[in-house]
Homo-oligomer: A and B are copies of this chain.
């Protein structure tokens, strides 16, 4: 209220804006340096000015402890230099890996990272997508676990650049980075087969999620490739989580599998716990393998063989794709439509550890 019309006050009073309660602005600096705000802006942005002016401005800015107001700048040039990453659960090491990778790329490019934990709630994901329109961030990396029609619609009409980590139905004009679950599963199954396992149980995640579905499909295929028969009894669907894995494995053990494969490390670890509890030895009696190769894989004993589906890599690529979109002003085509979507697939990698050594009967 006091600082009214301060912009026009040429008196070097260092008072109005400087004391006006808030942060110093270019106005405070202009007053203090006795120049116009335009000059201040120029100096601060390294645009030509007379040495004397530069000096006065820089001195004033330093004395005042000036920090440019990012919000004002954003309003002016329409970009916030913020990226949003929305994933189901920050408690899952897989997403943590993505966050790390994304944060790292973003930081290097001068972007901040806004985090959203959606708890895999579709509504939340849609809300995030919708809120892209509020211009709070320049782009979004979305990692949905289920993809509904509503997602596709929202993706179609997104009001800003989006990159999806996950498998999108074809035809959706959005960049995406996917994992090769099928090949990943095959890697593990083949490895188990080659180390002498023939009765491989599979503890899978929820069947109605994209990853759950793909992994199940991959498992079937992989068994066939190895010439093993698919026994539905040896496959269980459950929630991701150690407890769930333990419970599920518990029920499978009566079927005397010689290997348990978990659709992620938590599940595998749960299975390992069930085995330990029954006094079964890993890997002598039963081999155990997981997926994701998260920190958890090395936490247990024996260390867990696991398939790295490239979370870090996917995060990195997603961030890079997004940044590319941001740097490319606009497709020459229609109004921000027709982005000619790009898709990459991160290759899986098998990390063999002690949990899948040879079977006792095999040695």
Contacts and interface: CB of A to CB of B under 8 A. Distances in A.
Interface in A117-133: 117, 130-131, 133
A113 interface: yes
Contact of A296 (B68, B112, B130, B295): B295
Nearest to A97: B91
A67 B301 contact: no
B299 A242 contact: yes
A276 B301 contact: yes
A322 interface: no
Q: Which of A71, A99, A133 has its CB near the most chain B CB atoms (within 10 A)?
A: A71
Given A114-B113, A115-B115, A299-B242, A72 B75 contact: yes
Contact of A96 (B68, B70, B96): B96
Interface string A79-119: 01010000000110000100110011001000011111100
A253 to B, nearest CB: 16
A117 B269 CA distance: 28
Contacts of A332: none
A324 interface: no
Given A295-B296, A301-B301, A117 B103 contact: yes
Contact of A269 (B82, B107, B112, B299): B299
Interface residues of A, number: 52
A131 B11 CA distance: 30
Nearest to A99: B90
Task: Tell me how many chains of this kind the complex includes.
Answer: 2
Interface string A60-82: 00000101111110110010101
Interface string A15-39: 0000001110000000000000000
Nearest to A272: B301
A80 B116 CA distance: 16
Nearest to A100: B90
A290 to B, nearest CB: 11
Contacts of A298: 242
Contacts of A131: 67
B135 A23 contact: yes
24 contacts: A21-B335, A23-B135, A65-B133, A65-B159, A67-B130, A67-B134, A67-B159, A68-B134, A70-B136, A71-B80, A71-B136, A75-B75, A82-B114, A82-B136, A90-B99, A103-B115, A103-B117, A104-B117, A112-B136, A113-B115, A242-B295, A273-B303, A276-B301, A300-B301
The 7 closest A-B pairs by CB, nearest first: A67-B133, A70-B134, A299-B299, A300-B300, A70-B136, A71-B74, A296-B299
